[in-house]
Amino acid sequence: MKGKRSFKIMALLIIAVMLMLAACSGGGSNNNNSGGSTGNTSSNTGGQSSNSGNTGSGSGPAEEKPAPMKISIMIPSFSTELPDKSSPVWQRLEEYTNTDLEILFTPNSSYEDMLNITLASGDLPTIMNVGKTPSVISAARNGAFWDITDYLKDYPNLSQAHPVVLNNTSIDGKIYGIYRARTLGRMGVTYNKVWLDNLGLQPAKTIDEFYNILRAFTYDDPDKNGKNDTYGVVITKYTGPWDIMQIWFGAPNKWGENENGELVPDFMTPEYREALKFFRKIYSEGLVNEDFAVMDSAAWNTPFVNGQAGVFVDVADNARRLDNAMQEAAPRDEPYTIVTQAPVGPKGHRDMPTSGWSGMLVISKSKVKTEEELRRVLDFLDKLNDVEMKLLLGYGIEGRHYDMVDGYVVPKENLDAAITQELTGMNQLLMFIGEQEPGFAPTPINAQIAEVQKANEAIVVGNPAEPFVSEVYAQVGQQLDNIIGDARIQYIVGQIDDAGFDAAIELWKKTGGDDYIREINELYKAAKGK
Amino acid sequence: MDTTINHQADMTDLDPRPSAALPKRRRSKWAKIRKDYWLYILLLPGLAYFIIFKYLPMWGIVIAFQDFSPFLGVLKSNWVGVKHFVNFFNNPDFVRLLRNTLILGFYDLVFFFPAPIIAALLLNEIRVGIFKRAVQTMIYVPHFISMVIVASMTYVFLTTNGGVVNEIIHELTGQRINFLADPAWFRPLIILQIMWKETGWGTIIFLAALASVDVEQYEAAIVDGASRFQRLWHITLPAISSTIVILLILRLGNFLDTGFEQIFLMTNSLNRTVADVFDTYVYQVGIRQGAFSYSTAVGLFKSVVGIILIYGSNYFAKKFGHEGII
C-alpha span between B131 and B128 (Å, rounded)? 6
Whether the per-residue pLDDT at A54 is higher than 70: the answer is no
Whether the per-residue pLDDT at A317 is higher than 60: the answer is yes
In this predicted structure, what is the pLDDT of residue A30?
38
Per mean pLDDT, which range of A97-106, A168-177, B125-134, B312-321 is the poorest? Answer: B312-321
Q: pLDDT, tens digit, for every residue of B77-121?
A: 888 888 889 988 988 788 989 999 999 999 999 999 999 999 999
Q: Which residue has the higher pLDDT, A19 or A112?
A: A112
Whether the per-residue pLDDT at A60 is higher than 80: the answer is no
Whether the per-residue pLDDT at A20 is higher than 70: the answer is no
Whether the per-residue pLDDT at A460 is higher than 80: the answer is yes
Q: Are B64 and B286 in contact (CB under 8 A)?
A: no
SS (HEC) of chain B: CHHHHHHHHHHHHCCCCCCCCHHHHHHHHHHHHHHCHHHHHHHHHHHHHHHHHHHHHHHHHHHHHEECCCCCHHHHCEECCCHHHHHHHHCHHHHHHHHHHHHHHHHHHHHHCHHHHHHHHHHHHCCCHHHHHHHHHHHHHHHHCCHHHHHHHHHHHHCCCCCHHHHHHHHHHCCCCCCCCCHHHHHHHHHHHHHHHHHHHHHHHHHHHHHCCCHHHHHHHHHCCCCHHHHHHHHHHHHHHHHHHHHHHHHHHCCCCCCHHHHHHHCCCCCHHHHCCHHHHHHHHHHHCCCHHHHHHHHHHHHHHHHHHHHHHHHHHHHCCCCCCC
Whether the per-residue pLDDT at B70 is higher than 90: the answer is no
- Find the chain A residues whose C-beta atoms sit closer than 8 A to any C-beta of B: 112-113, 116-117, 119-122, 133-135, 138-139, 142-144, 237, 289-291, 293-296, 474-475, 477-479, 482, 485-486, 488-490, 493, 495, 507, 510-511
For residue B77, what are the CA distances in angstroms to A476, B281, B290, B315?
21, 24, 15, 40
Q: What's the rounded mean pLDDT across residues A325-335?
A: 88
Q: B270–A485: do the CB atoms touch at under 8 Å? A: no
Whether the per-residue pLDDT at A62 is higher than 60: the answer is no
Q: How far is B183 from chain A (nearest CA, A)?
A: 10
Residues of B in contact with A488 (CB under 8 A): 269
Q: Are A238 and A296 in contact (CB under 8 A)?
A: no
* Helix/strand/coil for A65: coil
Q: What's the rounded mean pLDDT across residues A68-77?
A: 93
Instruction: Give the helix ranges, DSSP H, for A200-317.
Output: 207-219, 240-248, 270-284, 301-305
A51 pLDDT tier (thresholds 50, 70, 90):
very low
Pairing label, strands A127-130, A357-363: antiparallel
C-alpha span between A149 and A288 (Å, rounded)? 47
Whether the per-residue pLDDT at A2 is higher than 50: the answer is no
Residues of A in contact with B161 (CB under 8 A): 289-291, 295
Q: How far is A473 from chain B (nearest CA, A)?
A: 10
A137 → chain B, closest CA residue:
B290
Q: A294–B270: do the CB atoms touch at under 8 Å? A: yes
In this predicted structure, what is the pLDDT of residue A5?
61
Residue A41: other Cβ atoms inside 10 A: 8
B318 pLDDT tier (thresholds 50, 70, 90):
confident
Residues of B in contact with A113 (CB under 8 A): 287-288
B182 → chain A, closest CA residue:
A495
Instruction: Provide the 8-state DSSP code for A6.
Output: H
On average, the pLDDT of chain A sits at 85
Q: B290–A138: do the CB atoms touch at under 8 Å? A: yes
State the sign of the Cα–Cα–Cα–Cα dihedral B59, B62, B64, B68: negative
Whether the per-residue pLDDT at A39 is higher than 60: the answer is no
B288 → chain A, closest CA residue:
A113
Whole-structure pTM value: 0.75
Q: Are B159 and B180 in contact (CB under 8 A)?
A: yes
C-alpha span between B110 and B180 (Å, rounded)? 23
Whether the per-residue pLDDT at A442 is higher than 90: the answer is no
Q: How far is A291 from chain B (nearest CA, A)?
A: 6
Q: B161–A139: do the CB atoms touch at under 8 Å? A: no
In this predicted structure, what is the pLDDT of residue A15?
62
Q: What's the rounded mean pLDDT across residues A18-25?
A: 52
Residue B8: other Cβ atoms inside 10 A: 15
Q: B285–A135: do the CB atoms touch at under 8 Å? A: no
Q: How far is A447 from chain B (nearest CA, A)?
A: 35
Could you please report the per-residue DSSP string of A415-454? --HHHHHTTTTGGGG----SSPPP-B---HHHHHHHHHHH
Residues of A in contact with B155 (CB under 8 A): 294, 296
In this predicted structure, what is the pLDDT of residue B11?
44
Instruction: Provide the 8-state DSSP code for A300.
Output: S
Q: Which residue has the higher pLDDT, A76 or B20?
A: A76
Q: A139–B70: do the CB atoms touch at under 8 Å? A: yes
Whether the per-residue pLDDT at A188 is higher than 90: the answer is yes
Q: Are A184 and A432 in contact (CB under 8 A)?
A: no
Q: Are B116 and B202 in contact (CB under 8 A)?
A: yes
Q: pLDDT, tens digit, for every residue of A481-500?
A: 889 999 999 999 998 999 99
Substitution target from B68, B69, B152, B264 for chain A, most A beta carbons within 10 A:
B69
